[in-house]
Structure 1
């Protein structure tokens, strides 16, 4: 029974080994498993023979099987001896696990490298694509720039041709002048103005043909424009023509600079103003004559007013006074009642006439102005006029350090006289103030009211048309002695007249 069980166990082991070898064909030395299987089968067969010989004594078969088992065992043992070192050299499970782990790490690293390479490759492809697009865009820009440059060059050629045409046919002289004054390029009009040919001008400087008295102001402008203080300048000056005659010109100069700011050359525009200057000289002389005549006229008016005032006061006034005295004497000495009423009426008429003569005399030329001076005359006149008009009048004056000339006193008095007349007639003012003071070499006179105001510009327009000469007369008087007058008026807020007069008359 034991031998049967042993035999059964021996037969099951080879079956398991053969199954294992067939399932794991990658196992090294699979033939040794087959040798072990044959050895175990042989051993199991010997146990079966033990059971057989127990019932059937065929010992020769049992011996044969044992001999075969011995051969298989010896052969297996002999084959196993050289196989042991090789089997020992096989890696252990830990080593296999470590090797597998290392392989997995290498695989992971390789995948990472491959991914990085893929990213680099994609980035490189993107860069190449972008660079290709950039190159294409740059190529298009270059084409556009080339086309634009060609267009600009064409426009420059057209502009240059247009400039040449304008330069040569301009109605004014045009020139390019070097910073040292040499003529670089001149047009025909400039040659006509100065009488030189272009070659003759280009061998000279502008200093050579400038009138000596006009050279320093011109050079001063040149220095200022080179220093960057001004951008352009304009002046009237004289050139010396080739025939030695003088010609008046208007010069406008500007500076052309290099991109780095360094001066390159001047552009000069020269206009012949000889005829204009001649006309201005004639006009100036005529104006001087008119001013002289106007001054003489005003002086004659004042002399005539002084004479009339003197005659009214001294001649007619005295005569009326004498008549009044005689009538009064006759009234007191007569006993005839019938003559009393006509005599009284005659006395009253003479009294009114006498007052009118005195008033007219004072209006024409107050004797106070000649006897006691401007300040006293103004104070008296302002009080008299404002009391008559029923407005508040104020005169403010600081002591004058300089004795005023009769002409200056007359001018100030007439300005105040005209201003107060206008205020009383038109301003509807409640208050008027007159101020007089001296500041260094100037005399200041201000007349200020709180009336309804007026349009200064419109009043001047009327004066030029002969409709209202009051303002024009004031301005003319001030200008004749070299002074200034300013009029400011605001609707419903009054008017201010400010005259500034020189103490030394021009």
Structure 2
């Protein structure tokens, strides 16, 4: 083994000295052939691309046009050196067909060579989409040094070659050794290359497949974009989020699909990433869906760089958070309504107390005076109290729904009434101002709905007035009714100024309005409260300049067996002992004045003092305000019931309590402020009767 190694080493040292000159000549020739083959291939590809566009009408097609130009030029070209030439061929079936005349063949077109044969090895490799150099047999069977190159545009192959004999003539012996050594080295290198690169290629292919699978099957949207914002790669989830195809998005930038209000902050983040100030950033923003709607997403963006440090692309990972945003907005709306509800409850309580102090004296004056002027003044006071009471009622309805008794309502009939009622506004006033407003209807035959007639009329009046206000230059209002299964639908559409998205989302909040006037009432908030209380729903569609359409879903009326009212004479009880627990001086003074005519009345203004007073005396009925200093009214009532279950308790409150409020269970009867004489006397009479029944 050592001798063999030394022998090889000696031969190599000797051979190197002999072959240096030949090797230099061989390499120079080889490089020249490669340059010829590659430059000619690229030139022919360029001609082919040009002809594919500009020579389609040439007889035989663009490829024939290219070939004719090459043949024309080749006629004036002999070759290089003594044996050098380049050949051009394409494959037809199992043969290689040469397209140009050869230097060593007098025929115009050389004879085809079998593809699987031994001849024309460089051309066979070229037609197998290989590129390189080889020492092999040409079409004549001569050994040549050749550079081969495929012409991709034409499916041809080109070979630049020179007879090996021409190269080795000055170095016959040394050249033979060099050729054999070169072939051996090439063969060994080829085997080593295949053995080395095949595992690497397989690993690279598997890695690419894993990336593609992860990219396409990800549950989030993934996008690659250039520094100018142009999309260069997208997964299907990203396309599904905003409704575009990949082809459509690849011609757009992220700026084109971003909501204008979110664009500035995103641009700022992108600049910071490109400047290296941020490695990654995350933000919530809105994309514009293909259908025009907005899609809320959470975007995480970062930059991907080449090994050289240059930017490769920007990568964005997108998560759809539209549903979460809708829930957040609904929560905010609920919290706002709750806050308004608390405010409304407090305001209505104080107003009801005040109205009671005004209403009851007015009622007493109405019943006691004979003077027509005084009676008229008392009537005006009572009417004002009723109007104020209605405002308070609507305020409460806007936050917790109406408490009117549900009844059977003919929706179409109420619509006709509402149109007639509002005609002075949309017809007479509009015409006086030179404005044309038209109301049209499409009313299907539908079943009666579940609601209240006054409530439905109030809804229609509000919607019609809103529509008129939204059309300062005139327009059309369309009212439609339809029945879908067991549900009835009412829609009111106008051609007015419309609302933007933020205004539309806040349309049902109390006191929210697009009007410029002050007397707007509770608007859509009040309507929403009534409709919800009836088991229905309301939706609004609107866009700036495109009008507004409100659609209300209502439930059908279901008939129930009627109960006959049990009527009886209102028996007035004998004089009894009453305790009034009320912290509002005006209210308890008027109550005492009314009830003292028929009963013995005592007044206490504090809950704790009321319990002490109750323990010291015996009472038949106790009238209790809910909000008391010290101990609340429901606690007083509960303690009274515990100590003496026969005593009747009557709640007097200005708070708008729902029927399911647990505090009501502590009382036998309930009176809502502002109070009326008949209501007070009836409640006291019933309380006395209950007390007597408990005693028996």
* TM exceeding 0.5: no
Q: Which has the higher strand share?
A: 2
Q: Which has the higher helix share?
A: 1
How high is the TM-score relative to the length of structure 1? Answer: 0.31
How high is the TM-score relative to the length of structure 2? Answer: 0.24
